[in-house]
Structure 1
């Protein structure tokens, strides 16, 4: 009985706290996302080759091509169980708010081909953007560092930081926050 209880507690902690990524050298520090940063441009590339220019602005980031949209930046890996568990919820939110909202998922894995990511997208029926480039790690650093995944940052229509989420988060909580910034 004690074994099953301990197993349940360990599994719950992993699910609700996310996965730790030892490759990331910087500490997760969401307060850094609130601080003013120098204007820096980072060029992300999605799996179809489309570029997304991300520019640091006062207390956030602007995302070229997604002006006047609420943006949820989702740092993830394909091997992380909580990252996979949140996919249906992110799909639902992207569909619900498709006219005013965009999810940009930033893959934090090295040496993943776009073909592998496209298979992952197809298998999971993902309907939002996934970026796969070396610049992903620069964005993670600029956002304050990413130590645990999934980690998400919500930005309002002007690119200003609104809130963040560490680990698996209920869809309803993200939905309520999206409504606040719309």
Structure 2
């Protein structure tokens, strides 16, 4: 009996701590053998669910949020159907509350055809206290960052706009908090 319980808990924890694939079942890779130069977009305007524009620029190893100068940014790629994405929301809410003066969390929705009304219901249900973006630019940003392949994926950006850490899958808030404190000590 103990073996069955242990095996069940192990399988459950593996499923819980791995991320969700951000591609839908019908989506397939469009790789070709031709060597065409592809221009990757570097400037983005992300539209939040409350109709604010967040101006973002990718420049080398920097992700510059022009609207949040000298702030730590936690860029969170997620989907409303993803269980690990939902599970991490309370941790993100707590981090935003605890580090409100230094940290801005920006969640980037990687779902198509979701109205702001539906996303705002999700925000209210989970008591989200940080910015959530919902636009086609979200996918362009994902591509500009090398295409986010698994969700949740989070990128911690220091006050100088340099990528400090990338997290794939659900991450304990203590780990993120250690990294935030390291940035604040710089």
Give the alignment of 1:29-178 within 5 angstroms: 40-178=42-180
Take 1:133 and 1:154, find their aligned partners in 2: how far apart are those partners? Answer: 21
Could you say which residue in structure 2 is the equivalent of 1:16?
Answer: 17
Secondary structure of the equivalent of 2:46? strand
Q: Between Structure 1 and Structure 2, how many residues are aligned?
A: 172
Contact 1:39 1:55 in 2 (8 A): no
Shift of 1:18: 1.2
Take 1:174 and 1:146, find their aligned partners in 2: how far apart are those partners? Answer: 19
Secondary structure of the equivalent of 1:86? helix
1:42-92 CA deviation, whole Å, 9 max, x = no partner?
A: 110000111001001231210121000000000000111110010010000
Contact 1:57 1:159 in 2 (8 A): no
Secondary structure of the equivalent of 1:110? coil
The gaps in structure 1 that reach 5 residues or longer are: 27-36
Shift of 1:5: 4.8
1:4-60 CA deviation, whole Å, 9 max, x = no partner?
A: 55543332122111111224778xxxxxxxxxx988201100001110010012312
1:119-169 CA deviation, whole Å, 9 max, x = no partner?
A: 000011000000000000011111221111100000011110100111111
Take 1:99 and 1:68, find their aligned partners in 2: how far apart are those partners? Answer: 11
Contact 1:58 1:160 in 2 (8 A): no
TM (normalized to structure 2)? 0.86
Secondary structure of the equivalent of 2:95? helix
Looking at CA atoms only, which structure, 1 or 2, has the larger radius of gyration? 2
Secondary structure of the equivalent of 1:99? coil
